[in-house]
Amino acid sequence: MLTAELSKVQSRQDLLNAGSRLKSGFNHMVDVMIAAREYYESHPAAEIPELTDQDQEYSDHLRMEIDRVMRIEGADKLIAKYQEEAVGRLHLFQKRLLEKKLKIL
């Protein structure tokens, strides 16, 4: 879990050591986001469930851990590097989805 990995990071060296696990966590998060969007697109009548208290708690914890880690010197560049592949995949997915919608219009 991404929050568990981030919670272990106390220094720049910890961040370097956790790089591949963090990259994997960011990629997993994007996998879930893409799967959710694909489901929504293929089931437009489906209700989108509200976030549960547990969902909100996880989201808050993740945000707090990222904020904490980002205070480490050089963390901004390292986190950006670890997120790069996931962000690129999400961008490409969104671009393809938009192109598909524009063709329908």
Question: pLDDT tens digit string along 19-63?
Answer: 999 999 999 999 999 999 999 999 988 888 898 999 999 999 999
Average confidence (pLDDT) over 72-98: 97
Q: Which domain holds residue 13?
A: 2-104
Query: How many separate domains does the chain show?
Result: 1
**Is residue 41 packed enough to be buried (19+ CB in 10 Å), middle (13-18) or exposed (0-12)?**
exposed
pLDDT at residue 85 tops 90 = yes
pTM of the full structure? 0.90
